[in-house]
Amino acid sequence: MRVRPILYLLIVTLLFQLTHAYETERVVLVIVDGLRYSEGLGDEAHDYVPRMAEMADQGAIVGDFRNDGYTYTSRAIPAIWCGAWTDINSFSDPDCGGSPNNYTELPTVFEYYRRQLSRPAIDCVYTIKALCPWKASFHPEFGPDYWPLYHSVGSTDQDVWHETEQIIASQSPHFLLMYLADVDHAGHSGIWNDYLQAIVTADNIVGELWETIQANPDYQDKTTLLVTNDHGRHDYNFSGHGDNCDGCRHIQLLAIGPDIYPGLVSDIPRVIPDVAPTIGELLGFTTEYASGTAMMELIDEFVAIEPTSTRPVAELIVFPNPSNQGTNIDFMLPVSGDVDLRIYDLMGREVRNLLSASLEAGPNSFSWNGTDEDGRTLPSGTYLIRLETETSLLFWKMAIIK
Ligand SMILES: [Zn+2]
Ligand SMILES: [Zn+2]
């Protein structure tokens, strides 16, 4: 577990703002269809994904990321969008000449984003090769008014990338999903070298995408990029997928951006439905019909320090974080005086007052067992530790994951 001493100062005054105190203003999600983990970041030599491996050093990966439902595209991609395994329905799609097309039962991340943040479709783009893309939901609270702008052009991953590059330059959407289909198709061909070449191409595209993001003033240093898969491939035969084997289930989740722990390899198991809530957490919207939860452990727990005098601020260390119950809270007081230590939930409600006392300068250590004032165990989620001393007001985020 990594803990980090306080290295820098940042001023944020209102507790209510802290839920959205991320540097991230934009999110780009890339889905590489059917990339088996053993040829992706699960290959220690990173022979076919050198660029993603390099990015993983600056970002975070989930070591045990899984498709926990259906290991085929028509169900797994909607689970990524919806943050849940959702039913797929069919309708006669006027955008596709009235042909039957899929839509999701549950609302999608696009709909949550556009509705809650009042964003136009042009700010929420889905790039995919030329086909009739599956649609988001007709959910009564969401639906077509909040669907993304489907940009469906080209026939290869390279084409989709070039279209995406244009969209970044010309429209600069705050939320962008790029879907790359070729790895899965090459896998189904049964030609091993074609499959590997498709992975190398996708890896290069992800590397170029990150370079493009970092070279564009609208995106630079305020964009989180997530790269995942819908499913892997059989561990006994790369040309297929769709069952419960580890090759089909074990996939990758790479995250990189200003709020992501650099170099983290998280050992907390995660699943496909956790992607959409994580995007919501970063961009400031909720995914209320999702079954997944935000991957708070990938997000740097530092929230804010407000110095209240010119004297040195207190130092705070919280560990373990995340944990499955409570945590230890150690702090170093530079000067003697009044100290106030409380826990809040992300709605800004105080859930526990741990300490209000006058303490001597020096090290102090407290533990919190994850319960509220009445001794009730608090649910999984993110909590804020608030430490007020004579010289500073500190907020630190911690996650309880059962
Ligand atoms: Zn397939
Ligand atoms: Zn399989």
What is the per-residue pLDDT across 300-343, written as a single tens digit (0 to 9) for each? 765 656 666 677 767 777 888 778 877 889 888 989 999 999 99
Residues near ion ligand 1 (CB < 5 Å) are 34, 184
Closest CA to 157 of 205, 197, 228: 205
If you measure from the C-alpha of residue 361 to the centroid of ligand 1, how many angstroms do you get, rounded to a whole number?
Answer: 62
Domain range list for the chain: 23-298, 300-400
For residue 156, how far is its CA from the centre of ligand 1 (angstroms)? 16
**How far, in Å, is the centroid of ligand 1 from the Cα of 241?**
6
If we measure between CA atoms, which residue out of 258, 289, 292 comes closest to residue 276? 292
**Could you tell me which residues are beta bridge partners of residue 30?**
178, 227
Considering every ligand atom, which ligand is closest to the CA of 181?
A: 1
- 36 CA to middle of ligand 1, Å? 11
% of the chain surpassing 90 pLDDT: 72
Q: How far is the CA of 76 from the centre of ligand 1 (A)?
A: 11
Q: Which CATH architecture has domain 300-400?
A: Sandwich (2.60)
Tell me, yes or no, if the two domains 23-298 and 300-400 fold the same way. no
How far apart are the C-alpha atoms of 11 and 155, rounded to whole Å?
48
**Centre of ligand 1 from the C-alpha of residue 89, in Å:** 20
pLDDT of amino acid 99: 95
Q: For residue 286, how far is its CA from the centre of ligand 2 (angstroms)?
A: 33
C-beta of residue 34 within 8 angstroms of C-beta of residue 231: yes
Residue 40 confidence (pLDDT): 98
For residue 374, report the distance from its CA to the centre of ligand 2, in Å: 48
Closest ligand (CA of 232): 2
Interhelix angle for 73-82 vs 109-117, to 10°? Answer: 20
> What does the angle CA 84 – CA 87 – CA 92 come to, to the nearest 5 degrees?
130
- Domain formed by 23-298, architecture: 3-Layer(aba) Sandwich (3.40)
Ranges under pLDDT 50 in the chain: 1-20
